[in-house]
Structure 1
Amino acid sequence: MLLETMAVVAVGVPALPAALAWLENRRSGDWLLQRRLCGGRLASALLRAFLDSVWTLWCTALALPFGRLCSGHGLATGTGPAVILVHGLYHNPAAWFVLRRRLARAGFADVRCYGYPSFGRPFGDIVSGLEELVRRAALEVPDGRVALVGHSLGGLVIRAACGPLAQADAGHGVRIAGVATLGAPHRGSVLAARLGVGRLARGLAPGGEVLEAVRGLPPCPGPALSLYTPTDCMVQPLSGALLEGRELSAGWTERAVPPVSHVGLLYSARVHAEVLAFLTSLR
């Protein structure tokens, strides 16, 4: 009985956002973009992404208690900018345990994680905490260069920090080497309005306070890369994951990755290869 209940929960939890995403993409017409990005095989792509979401969501939940173990830095020796990883909503630095190992093997000497709570702390305070970490990291690397990678909400935290930071610290030691975001809701997600728990989550809805705060700040300059999956069930509709014109004008590159789930972006070898290639180009 217990195993049956666990199996139902394991499948049911990711099934709800998957169903809502399908409905929202049909309503908005974004399913046409989905189908094109999936090579015309939308049904099989959605099935693969759903199965991916089942194991990645529960893998993520099991990893949460080990977040503190992922907060250190200096896992490898090599050259390049300091790299700061910023997790998404309801997560902690444990989100990065796979990518950190791959970065270490690639020779990135200084990889740090920025952690923040999903409840009780205003978005502006979370952004200020990242700005502080970026300045501290810049002081500890020879040329002051810092690269940032963010998943989901983490991508918006980076955007909010790096635009003003690049302007305020120009000539004062901080150099934003580059930015990469994974599945960031650049235009918001209606799922946040429907099921979001907490002020921070609700702020991710289109027109929400988090989205409006980011839009009210200077754009983060390139080089910058935004990766998204056409089968994202958390960013709804799919167009919510697309960049707006001012980021594209500021030097951002936008690219769809092969179909995976929203959380699966944290574990995908193909996604990690894209991130590693981007970071390596910054050396």
Structure 2
Amino acid sequence: MWTLLTILAILAALLIAEALFVSTVTHALLWYEISGTEHARKLRSRGCLPLLFATGLLRAMGTQFLVVLTYHAHRLPWFGRERPDARGPVLICIHGLYHSPSAWVFHGPRFERAGFTDQVRIGYRCWFAPMNKAVEEVKRKVRRALDERPGRDALLVGHSLGGLMVRACLAEPDIAQRTRAAVSLGTPHRGSRLTAFGWGPITDTIRLDSPEIERFCPSRPAVKVPRLALATPMDNFVLPPRALLPPEGWEWAETGPINHIAMLHDRRTVEMVTDFLRRTISR
């Protein structure tokens, strides 16, 4: 019994250490990136900058810990009930790099309460697969979801790398023609410097200002689709902040000063998403 408790204690200590390390390093890099810039002055208008970073660091530790704890939640039988026979558009959610469909474990029920009862939470190989393989896998699964729902349209929502996957899908005429609206959350539309610390071939594709992003995830959709890019002014994974700026044709809005992963847990963020989606499909 003591051996089991010791193992559990070691695992818990490792999880806490990982959350502390990742959160501290990424917030330190964010501080370095924005120091003395207009972005820092804009953040100061929201409050004391050191206090914002201190609270942001603590929250980031919690969200990082939650990611690890819930990583395999999508394998549980109650997770992500699809309803192909429902009315209205199907909500297709695409997670980011190093994540899983469990990314939507908090927002999924909130989407459902907002009226989006049919949800497809797509998973894809993002750890070691190259960008082209990941993109093709996502497109294939989106097409399958649409084929299972003849006569119905889609709403695409992607977090982080998932937002680039949304762009890739919208470049396909057959998908774009059946998409009513699209939303990206904390997406590195112009790449990120932080990929220098990542692993796997996808990180080479999404380095800052990489032309490979446009190659695999074109900025122009095949047909015009209402698009919203949501970003947080304290994104600690997409650096520098200008890398969050979307291509021409996207609406742009900022959430409160929360961290990158907190966008998957924050109530105000999901309200901004659902407000946009409702506004769009009611036109």
Q: Which of 261, 271, 274 is the aligned partner of 2:259?
A: 261
Equivalent pairs, count: 270
Corresponding residue number in structure 2 for 1:230:
233
SS in 2 for 1:46: helix
Give the match's secondary structure for 1:157.
helix
Helix, strand or coil at the partner of 1:261 = coil
TM-aligned CA deviation for residue 231 of structure 1: 0.7
The DSSP-based 3-state class of the residue aligned with 2:184 is strand
RMSD: 2.7
Cα deviation for residue 260 of structure 1 reads: 0.7
Q: Aligned equivalents of 2:267 and 2:217: distance in 1?
A: 32
Match of 2:111 among 87, 103, 118: 103
Q: Given the superposition, is the C-alpha separation of residues 40 and 222 from structure 1 closer, same or farther in structure 2, using an over 3 Å criterion?
A: farther
Distance 1:147 1:9, change over 3 A: closer
Please say if 1:156 is aligned against 2:154.
no
Counterpart for residue 193 of structure 2: 190
Q: CA deviation at 1:158?
A: 0.8
Listed as ranges, the matches of 1:1-283 within 5 Å are 7-26=16-35, 30-36=39-45, 39-69=46-76, 72-74=80-82, 79-141=87-149, 143-162=151-170, 164-165=171-172, 167-168=173-174, 174-193=177-196, 195-208=197-210, 210-214=212-216, 216=218, 218-219=220-221, 221-244=224-247, 246=248, 250=249, 252-281=250-279, 282=281
Unaligned runs of 5+ in 2: 1-8
Q: Specify every segment of 5 or more residues in structure 1 that has no aligned partner in the other structure, as ranges.
A: none
Task: Give the AA of the match of 1:267.
Answer: H
Whether the 8 Å contact between 1:145 and 1:176 is mirrored in structure 2 is: yes
Shift of 1:57: 0.5
- The 1:77–1:161 alpha-carbon spacing in structure 2 relative to 1, beyond 3 Å, is closer
Distance 1:177 1:7 in 2: 41
**Gap change, CA 1:5 and 1:219, over 3 Å in 2:** closer
Residues 199-233 of structure 1: CA deviation (Å, up to 9, x unaligned): 11232211336424246563474311111001111
Three-state SS of the structure 2 residue aligned to 1:64 is: coil
Q: Distance in 2 between matches of 1:230 and 1:79?
A: 36
Fraction of identical pairs, as percent: 31
Q: 1:202 to 1:77 in 2, by over 3 A?
A: same
More relative contact order, 1 or 2 (CA 8 Å, 6+ apart): 1
Mean Cα deviation higher: 5-14 or 81-90: 5-14
Give 1:43's aligned amino acid.
P
TM-score by length of 1: 0.84
